Structure 1
Amino acid sequence: MLNLFTDNITKDSMRPLILFLGDSITADGLYIRLAGEWLRKHRPDLAVELAARGVPSETASGLSEADHPFPRPCVHERLTKELAEAVPGVVVACYGMNDGIYHPFSEARFAAYREGMLRLSAKIREAGAKVVLMTPPPFDAASMNGQLLPAEASGFSYLAPYRDYDLVLERYAEWLLSGICPADGIIDLRTPLLEHIRQERSLNGSYRYGDGIHPDASGHGVIAQTLLRELFHAEPGDMA
């Protein structure tokens, strides 16, 4: 639990807006809505606002695969404006899913992700807000409808990803969890979501975790539970 972070968020001196930045998983907003609904019902004393400002296809690295229908947007193209308009007390950011651009691991792409996350954290702190980084959710190949490609293939994209792309995301998550990127808190989404997928599939072998990239409603529920537990010391139970 992010004890210091939670203590700060409840102080009167802390601005009450929590700004969520991320890609299409954040743009969907379901996990943010679930968390907000729980807080309004069970913790009305916390006068905080949760603002979802995710952008589909976005990265922190500035990379884009050749087969993407348009160059992927990068959070750094809008970050200054978002921070100035929202004036958040806390920014929660989740990037990584798109940053490996669905290719096998490469040091160059990994370096671009690290540099992008370091810049993101520094810019948020310069704006006077707390920084909370979330690990990228897992990629679940078993839930994919499209083609999965071996490492020796070419033309990787979100429509035809590397079949072991989750190993790339594992590397990105491990780097975040190492604490090398300065932040007031790091939230591990990967571990509870992998456990959720394993549990659901043990009960139903045909369980689909959304489309393999974007979580289903139950996955969003797990993210909301994790946020509430880590940010607010809450134990909301099943939110799916």
Structure 2
Amino acid sequence: MHPLVNRVLLMLCLLISPLNAKEVFVPGQRVVFVGDSVTAAGQFVTYLDLQLRIQYGKEAPELINLGLPSEGVTGLSEKPHPFPRPNVHERLERALNKLEPDVVVACYGINDGIYSPFDESRYKQFQDGIRKLISVVQNKQCKLVLCTPIAFDAQPFARAGKLLPVDTEKEFAWFEIYDGYEAVIAKYSEFVKTLADDVDVLVDVHDPIKYSLIATRKTRQDYAMSSDGVHVNNQGHLVIAKAIAAATGVTWYGDDQPAFSQLDQRTRLLHDSYLDHVGHTRPQTGKGLPLDEALVKAKEMDTDIQIAVANAQRKLQAPKKGPLAPIEGEAGLPNVLLIGDSISIGYTLGVRAELKGIANVHRPATNCGPSVKAMAELDTWLGTTEWDVIHFNFGLHDLKWMGANGENLAEPNGEGNSQQVPLKEYVEYLEAIAVKLKSTGATVVFRNTTPVPKGAKGRVVGDAARYNEAAATVMQRHQIEIDDMYSYTIDRLDQLMRPANVHFTPEGNSFLSKKVARVIREALN
């Protein structure tokens, strides 16, 4: 086996869960969310609720948040914890009997490692706890959406001096966490991903959190989603919600703060009441209204919520134009996905025109940027569509130079400056991305990186060739065809590109689109 493959095997396991997507959030369904304090906070539940209400209106499925702070699937607690951590198995069957859900969404793991170094016995108890959860839910004839643990972000506590080394004499706890705890949680996440065939839908929320942090810190080194590495803010909840939506086929319309705020008040109101209604063992937990009163109050809120959601619907579903606008696919035609940066955006409309009546040409509604962004968002881009051809590229953002403090397009080789994704890191990410894309069953084509012309700020002439050479090795290993756009354009940059700029003129974009369309036609045949 190639040595590079050995180095990235764990990364591949973390990235390539075969998200066996099914539509589970459908009208008439009752969905109960169980989990720890991240679930209890509830924002990701509210984000999902907003998308479903935009899609289904009054017929949207009912979402009930039953997350409980401190909870796990093992009942294990670190010694300094002020009370025994609650175990979901104390209340799970009771909750299912009382609430009679059609679907359960579960997310556990971050507490079950009890913020300590890896321990085989604890790991076995986590495995047993997750398997028991699956069994209990399925015995009640409920569908199960099982999430991996979220990632642990060491940076906030590292900067606050609250991480402990493995050989410390102190007791590990949620307020003084083992400095290698993310590796523990990554292993727990890897285990959960092996259970994809045992549940209705498996959702990876670990990698989207992990790589969103890495990607954002390329330009904002102080960026964090939490103050403790665990309790993510709204941005973290948005990442979780998008991951669940992508795996379950929920259409993602976007965020609307007025509607979200009103819905979130409703989520929190009912959360506290449902917790009390089901019952639990956790002390120091606020009491909610009696459930009957809370349901009446929630119903009173619904009129204003419906108005806010209708406003959000008009805004988020308003017709859009341009290459990033979603398209309505034509029934019976193959589905093609373009993934790439602004060069790809530039040729998207031309490719659609060239393939009109031949294929539905989709793309993410974003500049897909560097390869590390794909590590965070690839599942969201893929969604649940069965793709016939995926034409993708990363490189131009990877090789650009960033300043020591995240400044964009910095002086190459300047003091403290570095490429956004160094070559070794780029290759590792491409390995994982290639495996994930091949696992979809689509015909996959890699479009290599276009040349860097003289005078282009923040990039070095010749680096595109270096990155392409490395990418070619990866693609050969995975038997992925290469759309060689570098060779196609290198001898006519003056005719196709803007002066001292990596971007193409309109004529250049048309030139590129014809080649991409030709490659896709061949891939479809």
- When normalised by structure 1's length, the TM-score is 0.91
Are 1:221 and 2:234 counterparts? no
**Match in the other structure for 1:141:** 154
Pick from 184, 201, 207 the counterpart of residue 185 of structure 1.
201
SS of alignment partner, residue 218 of structure 2: helix
Which deviations, in whole Å up to 9, do the C-alpha atoms of 1:72-109 show, x marking residues without a partner? 00001111111011111110100000000000001000
- Which moves more between the two structures, 197-206 or 229-238? 229-238
- Measure how far apart 1:124 and its partner are: 0.5
Give yes or no for contact 1:147–1:161 (8 Å, CA) kept in 2: yes
**Match in the other structure for 2:440:** none
**Which one-letter code corresponds to 2:35 in the other structure?**
G
> In structure 2, what is the Cα distance between the partners aligned to 1:192 and 1:30?
16
**Which one-letter code corresponds to 1:107 in the other structure?**
E
Count of equivalent residues: 235
**Match in the other structure for 1:71:** 84
- Measure how far apart 1:203 and its partner are: 2.3
Give yes or no for contact 1:95–1:136 (8 Å, CA) kept in 2: yes
Answer 1 or 2: higher relative contact order, Cα 8 Å, separation at least 6.
Answer: 1
> In structure 2, what is the Cα distance between the partners aligned to 1:168 and 1:183?
23
**Match in the other structure for 2:261:** none
Are 1:151 and 2:127 counterparts? no
- When normalised by structure 2's length, the TM-score is 0.43
- Measure how far apart 1:234 and its partner are: 2.2
Give yes or no for contact 2:55–2:251 (8 Å, CA) kept in 1: no
1:42-57 map, 5 Å: 42-44=55-57, 47-57=60-70
Give the RMSD, CA atoms, in angstroms: 2.0
> In structure 2, what is the Cα distance between the partners aligned to 1:115 and 1:239?
40
Identify, as 1 or 2, the structure richer in helix.
Answer: 2
**Match in the other structure for 1:100:** 113
CA distance change for structure 1 residues 129 and 108 in 2, over 3 Å: closer, same or farther? same
- Measure how far apart 1:237 and its partner are: 5.0
- Measure how far apart 1:63 and its partner are: 0.4
Pick from 6, 17, 41 the counterpart of residue 30 of structure 2.
17
CA distance change for structure 1 residues 62 and 239 in 2, over 3 Å: closer, same or farther? farther
4+ residue runs over 4 A deviation: 237-240
**Match in the other structure for 1:199:** 215
Q: Percent identity?
A: 35
> In structure 1, what is the Cα distance between the partners aligned to 2:61 and 2:196?
29
> In structure 1, what is the Cα distance between the partners aligned to 2:165 and 2:75?
24
SS of alignment partner, residue 219 of structure 1: helix
Which deviations, in whole Å up to 9, do the C-alpha atoms of 1:46-75 show, x marking residues without a partner? 631111100000010110010001110000
- Measure how far apart 1:199 and its partner are: 2.1
- Measure how far apart 1:2 and its partner are: 3.9
Structure 1: runs of 5 or more not aligned: none
**Match in the other structure for 2:443:** none
> In structure 1, what is the Cα distance between the partners aligned to 2:109 and 2:70?
11
> In structure 1, what is the Cα distance between the partners aligned to 2:141 and 2:120?
32
Bigger Cα Rg: 2
